[in-house]
């Protein structure tokens, strides 16, 4: 689906550094949104691993103007919710030396815990850490409440 210029500027924040949407991709006739596709998880993990400059997560996908009501990630202090841990199967060799391999408490898949996450979890008991896949499922369920 082609995204209107107005949306690209105001929602996707095209060309606006780190705020630019991470899910934008060049399609056959202009920029397309990959948020509601299978590429989403891969893009999330690329942002997480530091491979992407565009880090924005600004809407519900396909340039939908509705703002994200239940953000899964990025997570800011004070938010409740889920902390996504990148999965070992998606990032076999992380570049961060502080990443420690842990098991997802929900499904047992191998995933990476960083120093920053350990700090957040210690100070925010409401927060649950789980692998990307579980956090996505939990986030989607949470939205229906
Ligand atoms: Zn899991």
Looking at the structure, tell me whether residues 62 and 109 fall in a common domain.
Answer: no
Q: How far is the CA of 104 from the centre of ligand 1 (A)?
A: 5
- Assigned domain for 42 exists: yes
The three-state secondary structure class of 60 is coil
Q: Which of 46, 68, 90 is a domain's end point?
A: 68
Q: What is the pLDDT of residues 74-89, one digit of tens each?
A: 545 555 567 778 889 9
Rounded CA-CA distance 142/50 in Å is 28
Q: What is the pLDDT of residues 90-123, one digit of tens each?
A: 889 888 888 999 999 989 999 999 888 888 788 7
- Assigned domain for 75 exists: no
Rounded CA-CA distance 66/69 in Å is 8
Q: How far is the CA of 138 from the centre of ligand 1 (A)?
A: 10
Number of domains in the chain: 2
User: Looking at the predicted structure, is the pLDDT value of residue 145 above 70?
Assistant: no
User: Looking at the predicted structure, is the pLDDT value of residue 1 above 80?
Assistant: no
- Assigned domain for 76 exists: no
Predicted confidence at residue 110, as pLDDT, reads 95
Q: How far is the CA of 64 from the centre of ligand 1 (A)?
A: 28
E strands in 16-74? 24-27, 30-33
Q: Which of 44, 68, 92 is a domain's end point?
A: 68
Looking at the structure, tell me whether residues 50 and 89 fall in a common domain.
Answer: no
Q: How far is the CA of 9 from the centre of ligand 1 (A)?
A: 35
Q: How far is the CA of 86 from the centre of ligand 1 (A)?
A: 10
Token pair for residue 47?
């942002």
Task: Tell me the sheet residues that pair with 103.
Answer: 110
Looking at the structure, tell me whether residues 55 and 111 fall in a common domain.
Answer: no
How confident is residue 139, by pLDDT bands cut at 50, 70 and 90? low
Q: How far is the CA of 137 from the centre of ligand 1 (A)?
A: 9
Q: How far is the CA of 109 from the centre of ligand 1 (A)?
A: 6
Looking at the structure, tell me whether residues 10 and 58 fall in a common domain.
Answer: yes
Q: What is the pLDDT of residues 33-59, one digit of tens each?
A: 888 888 888 899 988 888 888 888 877
Q: How far is the CA of 84 from the centre of ligand 1 (A)?
A: 9
Instruction: Judge if pTM exceeds 0.85.
Output: no
User: Looking at the predicted structure, is the pLDDT value of residue 12 above 70?
Assistant: yes
- Assigned domain for 73 exists: no
How confident is residue 67, by pLDDT bands cut at 50, 70 and 90? very low
Q: What is the domain range of residue 87?
A: 82-143
Looking at the structure, tell me whether residues 53 and 92 fall in a common domain.
Answer: no
Q: How far is the CA of 88 from the centre of ligand 1 (A)?
A: 11
């Amino acid at each position: 689906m082609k995204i209107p210029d107005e949306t690209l500027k105001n929602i996707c924040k095209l060309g606006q550094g780190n705020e630019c949407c991470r899910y934008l991709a060049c399609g056959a006739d202009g920029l397309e949104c990959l948020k509601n596709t299978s590429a989403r998880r891969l893009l999330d993990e690329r942002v997480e691993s530091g491979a992407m400059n565009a880090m924005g997560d600004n809407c519900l996908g396909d340039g939908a103007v509705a703002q994200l009501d239940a953000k899964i990630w990025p997570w800011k202090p004070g938010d409740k919710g889920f902390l996504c841990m990148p999965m070992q199967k998606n990032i076999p060799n992380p570049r961060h030396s502080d990443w420690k391999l842990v098991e997802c408490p929900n499904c047992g898949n191998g995933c990476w815990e960083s120093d920053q996450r350990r700090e957040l979890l210690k100070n925010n008991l409401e927060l649950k850490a789980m692998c990307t896949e579980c956090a996505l499922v939990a986030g989607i369920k949470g939205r229906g409440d």
